[in-house]
Amino acid sequence: MLLDAGVVTRCRRRVHLENDPTMRDAPTSPLDLGVEQRIADAVEHRRSVAAQLGDLLGAQRTEVPRGLPYAERATLTLDAMREGVGYISGAQLPDDAEGGRRGAIDLLVRSGNGYVPVLVVRHKITDPGRGAKTSPIEHPVPEAAEADQTRKVRPQPRDQLRLVHAIRLLEACGFDAGDRTGGAIGVEADAVVWHDLRSPNWPGGRTALAEYDARFGDRLAVATAAATGDEPLAQPSRITECRGCPWWPICESQLREANDVSLVVRGEDATVLRERGITTVDQLAGMPLESAEDLQLTGVRNTDAILLAKAWLREMPLVRRVRELDVPRGDVEIDVDMESYADAGAYMWGCWLSGTNIDEEQGYRAFVTWEPLPDDDEARSFAEFWGWFTRVRRTAFERGLSFRAYCYNELAENRWMLASAERFAGKPGVPPVSEVKEFIHSAEWVDLFAVVRDQFLCPNGKGLKVIAPSAGFGWRDPEASGENSMRWYRDAVALDGGERDLTQRERLLTYNEDDVRATFTIRTWMTSEAANEIPYAEDL
């Protein structure tokens, strides 16, 4: 039994299923295309950082060829460590048969009498601030670390646990892992951020080392029980991770068969309910509302849990939480939807103008850059969006008309409006950050997601694609999804080289237009008589 670093952050049931020999041919769902793309992007990032380190470190560094068989790579890594090579890229550490673990690490750095592990990741590992311990990328050793005056550490628990995994493997093959420090090179690849893994900065004052050891021991027991056919140590229970998990078809049918309470109340709350003997949706739905106060749930209001269970049993996608639905409306209205590509930028701002005619063409328009991100042309498209948007807002004001703009979950739009104003400050038409802040904090900016969340109970989720069909809206593209749009974008701008696919541009524009039409449809439906046909929760 040899487990990789991923098990410590993976669902326990998934660890069971992956190690249960009777599940070997079970029908799982294919990996989501968006997830597949993210994996490919991460591989590419690691390759590019390895090449960068090759240029910077020259003969002090060796690279274990990735295409070789696994055992051969482990032997080459061990040989390089025994020779005391300064930097080993693409290291495959020898298996720790006794500890039950195996694993690779992007970079091993010679430090003191041994090695320290360094991960290469494609996410942000710092934020503006101060205090992170960093070394310059051209001298990536802990001895060169200093307190950074421009960056603070962005907590990435998963990275820290992966580093401990590598440290346990180093110890197992007899190498000194120094003072239990591990490094990470993030998406910017301009420095190494060092983590002291003995620091008691985990919940309960634990260290990353202790947290890892506890989790790994547990997952090893789960996997061993699964492999040997012992009583399973992990049962399915719906959690956030289920959404992208290949085992969902199997877990879902098991949960449905049992009418499991986690189908309605997921995560920790399901555990709390089970501990109180409430294991099925029927039991939850049967609870008197007056007894809800004792439930002590955290992810959902106590009475909502009972009402959600009732709605779920009646197969209702929506239930009104309030007698009278209410969405702030304006004389002039714009629905806004932004499309971004990972952390690289926001390439499209789509808008649907409706309401009183103010001599602007009504309907859909998109402000877009088709230059592969990151690219400064993004500043041009953002400035054009902001210029048009501000003009409509100002015209409405000058004509004595009220104005409202809508999005579905403002986190993404706010993030990229602020980030664009910051990154492109001083470029033509780009507003100051203060102007963007003034708008997003104003009553003119309405987050329709929050409105839906506050006024409906939604047993199947509150996402735009889940809610809009209740308002009678459907997407023209049967494959419309945020994850798929990432793939279309890559083809549209030829991010992987080759020809730019113009049909995918059209597809993205249609997808974006349907998103803004969906928010338009939901809010106009919510303020019409038709929405009153949705049952009221307390009448259930």
Alpha-carbon distance 100 to 15, whole Å? Answer: 14
Transcribe 127-138 into DSSP letters: EESS--EEEETT
- Packing angle between helix 410-423 and helix 433-440, nearest 10 degrees? 160
Does residue 270 belong to the site contacting ligand SF4 (CB under 6 A)?
Answer: no
Residue 202 or 248 with smaller CB distance to ligand SF4 = 248
Q: How far are the Cα atoms of 220, 230, 446, 481, 497 from residue 522, in angstroms, in the given order?
A: 48, 51, 13, 18, 39
Query: Minimum Å distance from CB 227 to ligand SF4?
Result: 16
**Nearest CB to ligand SF4, comparing residues 208 and 264:** 264
Applying CB under 6 A, among 7, 8, 17, 346 the residue interacting with ligand SF4 is: 17
Q: Which of 7, 11, 132, 166 binds ligand SF4 (CB under 6 A)?
A: 11
User: Angle 10-11-13 (CA atoms, 0-180°, nearest 5)?
Assistant: 130
Residue 116 Cβ, how far from ligand SF4 at the closest point, in Å?
32
Nearer to ligand SF4, 177 or 242 (CB): 242
Q: What is the β-pairing status of strands 151-153 and 181-185?
A: unpaired
Cβ distance to ligand SF4 smaller for residue 11 or 316? 11
The answer to whether residues 208 and 197 touch, using CB atoms and an 8 Å cutoff, is yes
Does residue 178 belong to the site contacting ligand SF4 (CB under 6 A)?
A: no
Site string for ligand SF4, 23-42 (x = CB under 6 A): --------------------
- 18 or 378: whose CB is closer to ligand SF4? 18
Which part of the chain contacts ligand SF4 (CB under 6 A), choosing from 6-14, 209-217, 292-300, 396-404?
6-14
Q: Contact 456/471 with Cβ under 8 angstroms?
A: no
* 266 near ligand SF4, rule: CB under 6 A: no
Q: Would you count residue 13 as binding ligand SF4 (CB under 6 A)? A: yes
Query: Closest by alpha carbon to 381, among 416, 346, 408, 332?
Result: 346
| Identity of the residue, 105 or 264, whose beta carbon is nearer to ligand SF4 in the bound complex | 264
Closer CB to ligand SF4, 241 or 377, in the complex: 241
> Torsion over CA of 440, 471, 481 and 154, rounded to 10 degrees?
30
Q: Which residues contact 144 (CB under 8 A, 6 or more apart)?
A: 135, 136
- Cα(535)–Cα(318) distance, integer angstroms: 8
Q: Using the minimum distance from each CB to ligand SF4, give the nearer residue, 118 or 250.
A: 250
Length of the chain: 540
Token reading at 96 = 């720790």
Two tokens, residue 128: 């503006």
Residues binding ligand SF4: number (CB under 6 A): 13
Q: How far is the CB of 17 from ligand SF4 (least distance, A)?
A: 6
Structure tokens at 192: 């190494």
Q: How far is the CB of 250 from ligand SF4 (least distance, A)?
A: 7
Q: Which is nearer to ligand SF4, 242 or 417 (CB)?
A: 242
Binding segment for ligand SF4 (CB under 6 A), chosen from 10-18, 27-35, 88-96, 376-384, is 10-18
Q: Which of 14, 380, 404, 490 binds ligand SF4 (CB under 6 A)?
A: 14
Question: What number of other Cβ atoms are within 10 A of residue 140's Cβ?
Answer: 25
Contacts to ligand SF4 from residues 333-352, by CB under 6 A: none
Shortest CB 226 distance to ligand SF4, Å: 12
Give the HSE-up count for residue 519: Cα atoms under 13 Å, Cβ half-sphere: 33
Residue closer to ligand SF4 by CB (options 253, 291) is 253
Reduce the secondary structure of 442-501 to three states and give it as a string.
CCCEEEHHHHHHHHEECCCCCCHHHHHHHHCCCCCCCCCCHHHHHHHHHHHHCCCCCCCC
Give the nearest distance from C-beta 528 to ligand SF4 in angstroms.
Answer: 38
* Shortest Å distance, C-beta 35 to ligand SF4: 13
Q: Identify which range of 8-16, 93-101, 185-193, 340-348 contacts ligand SF4 by CB under 6 A.
A: 8-16
Alpha carbon of residue 142 to chain centroid:
30
Shortest gap between Cβ of 249 and ligand SF4 (angstroms)? 8
Among residues 396, 384, 387, the alpha carbon closest in space to that of 329 is found at 396
CA distance 476 to 507: 10
Under the binding rule (CB under 6 A), the answer on residue 281 touching ligand SF4 is no
Cβ of residue 77: shortest distance to ligand SF4, in angstroms? 32
Which residue number, 16 or 122, has a Cβ lying nearer to ligand SF4?
A: 16
Q: Which is nearer to ligand SF4, 121 or 263 (by Cβ)?
A: 263
Which residues from 223-262 bind ligand SF4, rule CB under 6 A? Answer: 236-237, 239, 241-242, 245, 247-248, 251
Q: What residues contact 398, with CB distance under 8 A and at least 6 apart?
A: none
Which residues contribute to the site for ligand SF4 (CB under 6 A)? Answer: 11, 13-14, 17, 236-237, 239, 241-242, 245, 247-248, 251
